Amino acid sequence: MKNIDRVLVKYNERLVGYLQILENNRIGFQYDEEWVKNGFSISPFSLPLSDDVYISKSPYFKGLYGVFNDSLPDGWGEFLVRRMLAKKGINFEKLTPLERLTLIGSNGLGGLTYEPIQREYVKNDNMDLDNLALNTKKILESKTENENLDDLFNFGGASGGARPKVHISFNDEEWIVKFGALNDSLDVGFDEYIANKKASEASINVNEFKLFESNRCKGYFGAKRFDRKNKQKVHVISLSAILETTHQIPNMDYYHLFQVIQKISIDKMDLYEAFRRMSFNVLYGNRDDHGKNFSFLYDEELKGYRLTPAYDITKTDYKLEHEMTVNGNSKPNESDLLSIADEFRLSRKICEGIIERIKNIIVNEKDRI
């Protein structure tokens, strides 16, 4: 590992700006002059376009702004990074945030890339998902000391989320395929497929998904990456990052999501889309609805932000409360949902219809492929 004190931030080969370690180990960010003229704000509230030097005051992210922290892996991805570095005698905890970003380089989630790149990803066309699933299980169980971490890192070292996953090429497009965690049922992928199917039928803008075949279970859940389009990266920022907070603390309400939509979304119908997602999560029992599971993408054609397609939709019976409260309630009911509709002046009739449609789909839909 090289010691890094300055990093170039790029977006589809365009220079966005610079991250640099300053006095007292603070980290400064400054947009490139050309980006200020022709680019866009990569974090609408925290990093408006200007030639200022920005220094984060957030108690989270070790001095980074949330938008850069979004690029770093968490959960499974961070687990792989830690294991890979430990095998090479490198202590992950001693790496600076800039050094961690350069490990991800151009393979992070979203559209931002970081140079110098300290580790190249090697393309691997081995698409044996059953074998990859078994290898991840062995690593999670720590049953082997000689696992090929490099291969798994190439497949999933930039991933976020708790469940193991791999990044693959399918039909010449980039997809993410999930495997079960240690305590998951063998058919957790099928369960997520059904959840996404129902959400789609509830008119939620669900990310394109499919069930990949397996010889050991009903299949692996896969979703096409919405942060890639026409071979180009798409800038994405999570709700948590926009508000400079961490999704690991349950400190947000759906009210915050609707507020942000009002402020930055170029499509005000996103308010109704958010209402559908909130209502589905509450009625279906998806309580893993934290601030990193809602994101916004920058639409370069429309010159503004809008909600990304919905993702990480599943049932979480093991969670007793929602990560994000509704109207201040961590165990919300229909009255709480409609209170949000009233607060943001959404049509009561339309929102009541959304709730009834979701309830009917949940009750009547048969779980079949």
What's the whole-model pTM score? 0.93
Tokens standing for residue 365: 């839909």
In this prediction, residue 368 carries a pLDDT of 39
Region for residue 149 given its phi and psi (left: phi exceeds 0; alpha: psi -120 to 50; beta: otherwise): alpha
> Which is more confident, 70 or 88?
70
| pLDDT tens track for 105-134 | 677 789 999 999 876 555 555 578 998 898
| pLDDT tens track for 250-283 | 899 999 999 999 999 999 899 999 999 999 999 9
CA distance 87 to 41: 39
Whether domain 129-224 has CATH 3.30.200.120: the reply is yes
- What ranges do the domains of the chain cover? 129-224, 228-364
Angle at 274 between CA 272 and CA 276, to 5 degrees: 70
Contacts 24+ apart (CB under 8 A), 301-306: 302/266, 302/267, 303/40, 303/266, 304/264, 304/265, 304/266, 305/44, 305/237, 305/264, 305/265, 305/266, 306/265, 306/266, 306/267, 306/270
| pLDDT tens track for 126-164 | 578 998 898 888 887 775 555 566 666 666 555 666 688
What are 292's strand-pairing partners? none
| pLDDT tens track for 22-56 | 998 899 999 999 999 999 999 999 999 999 999 99
For residue 116, which phi and psi values (nearest 5 degrees)?
-75, 150
For residue 83, which phi and psi values (nearest 5 degrees)?
-65, -40
Whether 361 contacts 202, CB under 8 Å: yes
CA distance 234 to 322: 29
